[in-house]
Structure 1
Amino acid sequence: MEDEKLIEKAIAGNEQAFRLLVEKYRHYLYKVVYPVVRNEKDAEDVTQETFIKIYYALPKYQKQGFKTWITRIAMNTAIDVTRKQVRKQESAVDDEILKQVTGTEVSAAVSLLRKEQREVVRTRIKELPDNYRDVIEDYYITEKNYKQIAEEQNVAVKTVEVKLHRARKWIKKHWKEDDF
């Protein structure tokens, strides 16, 4: 059956049509995300998460090339997962280093420096223009995904993407790494 017909049926609520799309593209999307996440289990999870996103986004699909559209969703999902894993690993490494430091004075100094650095970042975030501050805090501090932020702000996911992009450009233009 042709993709466009399956998509129309899936949008109309036909679960079997969506299952057929999943079966047709499951292996393809797995192969797309695997090089990004570099782990079989993670690739399976990202593929499954991608199909969930596709299911909810199907009504917005505008017949611009289904395979290209789902590939973009899969890649963005894989990149988001990879970023979150890197952040968690960095945090775990920082905690491990702190545990290995034996002297209480050194531990206290490191802890104080981290606290001060967090305060500097919080202060600098408050300097952001209002329209960028919320999206930066939601995405980087509370680690919400684009969809969650969009739902909370009652805007489209694309609007969140654009706000984040513009906020990052603003930060690059106005902040210097030495300030931290």
Structure 2
Amino acid sequence: MEEELIEKVRNGSHHAFRLLIERYKDQVFRTVYAVLRNQKDAEDASQEVFVKIYTSLSRYENQGFKTWITRIAVNHAIDCKRKAARRNEEITGSAVQPPKEDILLERLDSVEAKFEEKQLRLLVRRRIGEMPENYRRVIHDYYIKEKSYKKIAEEQEVEVKTIETKLYRARLWMRKHWKEEDFQ
């Protein structure tokens, strides 16, 4: 359904774009508001985000639309915050930005990085859930729970060599079934 709407928008359907806006307007607003913390600024920025989405849709590569628009929203909100800080600097006539603003911008960058990291973690967990059970368990224990070969072997009541073999086969399965671009 979503991919059909996107294709219709690419083909010039304004109605399809309105449906996308309706579907994602709350999420975009919440994302922008989390960065800007101002109702009016978040409303304006949300509208600008949808303009960016519309103009960038030709570059969208079907890699997760919700994640893609959220990334656009976060980046745009950070840009708005930076512009507001620069305007504030010009109004006050200060040639040097106060250290407080530097810390705020670092935090915004950190928020974006944390968001992207969280999205990637969620994607990896979902993809692990799609693996065959015998591989899923050993991958989860080793990479997510960070257990040693020995600990996993004890819990599964098998030899350490068996765990090594399972991990080797699970990694082969991932190389065969997963593409790097699925995680970007």
Matched residue of 2:19: which SS? helix
CA distance in 2, matches of 1:89, 1:56: 29
> What is the aligned partner in structure 1 of residue 38 from structure 2?
39
Question: Percent identity between the aligned chains?
Answer: 52
User: What's the offset of the Cα at 1:90?
Assistant: 1.4
TM-score normalised according to structure 1 size = 0.51
Q: Which runs of 5+ in 2 are unaligned?
A: 97-184
CA distance in 1, matches of 2:93, 2:56: 38
> What is the aligned partner in structure 2 of residue 69 from structure 1?
68
User: What's the offset of the Cα at 1:54?
Assistant: 0.3
4+ residue segments displaced more than 4 Å = none
CA distance in 2, matches of 1:93, 1:39: 21
> What is the aligned partner in structure 2 of residue 90 from structure 1?
89
User: What's the offset of the Cα at 1:25?
Assistant: 0.2
Q: How many residues align?
A: 96
> What is the aligned partner in structure 1 of residue 16 from structure 2?
17
Query: What RMSD over aligned residues (CA atoms) do the two structures have, in Å?
Result: 1.5
CA distance in 1, matches of 2:56, 2:90: 33
Query: If you compute each CA radius of gyration, which structure gives the higher value, 1 or 2?
Result: 2
Matched residue of 1:62: which SS? coil
TM-score normalised according to structure 2 size = 0.50
CA distance in 2, matches of 1:61, 1:35: 24
Alignment of 1:10-159 (within 5 A): 10-94=9-93
Superposed CA offset, 1:9-33 (max 9, x none): 0000011000000000001110011
Equivalent residue letter for 2:83: K
CA distance in 1, matches of 2:51, 2:21: 10
